[in-house]
Structure 1
Amino acid sequence: MPKITKRPNETARFNRSQKILIFICVILLVFGFSTRIMGGNAASKSGYDLFTMLRYSLIEKPTRTILNFSKDISSLWNVQSENDELRQEIASQKMYKSELDDTKRRLAELEALQGITSNDQYNSIGATVIARDVQGWSNVMTINVGSNDGITKDMSVISSKGLLGRVVEVHDKTSKVQLLTAEKTDSQVSIKIELSTDKSTTGSLETYDKTTGMFTANIFDSTVEIKKGMKVVTSGIGGATPSGILIGEVQDVEKLYNAEGVKIQIKPAVDFNDFTYVSVLKVK
């Protein structure tokens, strides 16, 4: 059999073709492997994103919403509680201020009353108002001194600003005082008006008008000139009430043409709704 011998050129072409084929296969394998890896990562990433979205939507977001809502409710409750505490504190401060103002008023009233000392006309006995009848507020009050303290009927009672009334009922430790504003009174108070340093005119205190808050008084002398703003004090006539105790000031003057005298309106010096401490005057 004849021996076949390959030519060198054919062998070289075969080797080169193999190399090209192998290179193409390698390229295809690398490309395929890369594509698979990338596809797998994308799928994995897509799966991860879907899981994350579901977890966030179904678990994390509702949980966070509930927690935030709970925090908001807790914060709202805390704010409400703080507001309630602030309201209570403000109310307490108002109460304390009211109590302080009342204490200051009482101290000022007491200090002013202490300035009214006993003199050559009378001795003063300090007292505190302990009761006033609501229905008869303008008529009678009860004070915490009585016969054991030297109180007797018809003694005059004053506040730090002027005449209040007179004692009408006495017990051992308490007394009842009829106010000048009483609807019915069985005694009239003698008054006088200082016209000048050396001249005065007298009269009597008649009634009190709740509507106007004024006293009505009759001045016996119709020839005198009485002006608005003149001071009206007790005259001391009769001996039951010392002279010079302030009653008020002239507010209006009316001539009585059909009778002798002058009718005047007097604005009280005393606020009959606002006093706590009083003095009972014992004439010497």
Structure 2
Amino acid sequence: MPSMFRRRGLMIVLIGFIILAALIGFSMRDRDSLSVPEKFLQDSIGWVQTIFHAPVQIVDNTYQNIQNMLNVYEQNEVLKNRLDEYKGLIQENQQLEKDNRELRATLDKAESMREYTPIHGTVIARSSDRWFEQMTINRGEEHGVQKDMAVITSDGMVGKVQSAGAFHSNVQLLSGFDESNKISSYIVREGEDNVFGLIEGYDSESGRLLLEGINLDEELKEGDVVISAGLGGVFPSDLRIGTVDKVENDRSGLTKTAYVEPFADLFDINHVMVVDREMDTVNTDSEEGEEQ
């Protein structure tokens, strides 16, 4: 019995192959039309392909979209990095241009100060807790810097040397001046005599220097220029300080106080000059000696 079933199975398989070969041969003939079974088979295969093609296409498109998104992300990161580099270059270039302008202005200022000996320096530090009062420059006694020498920029006076080391010095800014630090000054008025006064402090609220001791009968105007008078024995004369912003009577009612807007930006200083006043005295003495 088992052998009979095996024979029948083999016969069925053989007959199936024969029928399949016949159908294949029949379908490969050159014909203008298909039979009904062929049409059914073709449509069935087409529908199956359509059903499977849609999800495969979706998966493929999704994969392609993910790949494109990853590529776009990578390109975006590269562009961001390059943009940051460009921004850094732009900022560096702007800073270099600013330093160049300051150095040129400082050199031009130095050439115009023939009666003094300017010592060029660079700000190397500013204390966070005393930012508005003090800074450190890279020049000291070995470069000719001494205590109480005036410190200026190309715009105007910024302070004086508070202490001098061998190669570095601390500078007290005008914004850190109090009544113990006085600058004899002149207010220059167009077509009139100069008005004398003393810079005796700094008003932190308005950001203005306080020019005290002005006679009540003196008429001052906004924008009048204030320069050093050189009468105190510390600061040389004719150093630009600032302009008159407003004038009011002092508490005693006997004199006036002028609020002076500094020429120099006291909060953004990079390059300075220390003004050596002694050279003027030495030159004067030598000239008198020659005359004798």
**TM band (smaller chain):** 0.7 to 0.9
Is 1:169 the counterpart of 2:163? The answer is: yes
What letter corresponds to residue 77 of structure 2 in structure 1? D
- Contact (CA 8 Å) 1:121, 1:242: kept in 2 or not? no
Q: Please say which structure displays the higher CA radius of gyration.
A: 1
Counterpart CA distance in 2 for 1:70 and 1:48 is: 31
Residue identity over aligned pairs, in percent, reads: 28
SS in 1 for 2:243: strand
- Paired residue for 1:187, among 181, 185, 203? 181
TM-score of the pair, normalised by structure 1: 0.81
Is 1:203 the counterpart of 2:206? The answer is: no
Q: CA deviation at 1:92?
A: 1.9
Report Cα offsets for 1:56-109 as digits up to 9, x if no partner: 312x32222211111111111112222222222222222211111111111101
SS in 1 for 2:220: coil
TM-score of the pair, normalised by structure 2: 0.79
- Contact (CA 8 Å) 1:130, 1:144: kept in 2 or not? yes
* Structure 1 unmatched ranges of 5 or more: 1-36
**Equivalent residue for 2:151?**
157
Counterpart CA distance in 1 for 2:210 and 2:178 is: 14
* Structure 2 unmatched ranges of 5 or more: 1-30, 281-292
When the two chains are superposed, the root-mean-square deviation of aligned CA atoms in Å is 2.1
Is 1:109 the counterpart of 2:102? The answer is: yes
Distance 1:195 1:51, change over 3 A: same
Counterpart CA distance in 1 for 2:270 and 2:251 is: 42
Counterpart CA distance in 1 for 2:55 and 2:127 is: 68
Counterpart CA distance in 2 for 1:56 and 1:281 is: 91
**Equivalent residue for 1:61?**
54
Counterpart CA distance in 1 for 2:186 and 2:165 is: 32
Counterpart CA distance in 1 for 2:221 and 2:165 is: 43
Counting only pairs closer than 5 Å after superposition, residues 37-52 of structure 1 correspond to structure 2 as: 41-52=35-46
How many pairs are equivalent?
Answer: 247
Answer with 159-168 or 62-71: which moved more.
62-71
Q: CA deviation at 1:211?
A: 2.1
Answer with 93-102 or 149-158: which moved more.
93-102
- Paired residue for 1:223, among 192, 214, 217? 217
Report Cα offsets for 1:110-166 as digits up to 9, x if no partner: 110111226453210000001100110011111001111111111000011110111
Counterpart CA distance in 1 for 2:109 and 2:55 is: 80
**Equivalent residue for 1:87?**
80
What letter corresponds to residue 45 of structure 1 in structure 2? K
Counterpart CA distance in 2 for 1:185 and 1:133 is: 22
- Contact (CA 8 Å) 2:121, 2:137: kept in 1 or not? yes
Q: CA deviation at 1:185?
A: 6.3
SS in 2 for 1:199: coil
Counting only pairs closer than 5 Å after superposition, residues 220-259 of structure 1 correspond to structure 2 as: 220-256=214-250, 258-259=252-253
**Equivalent residue for 1:33?**
none
Answer with 86-95 or 254-263: which moved more.
254-263
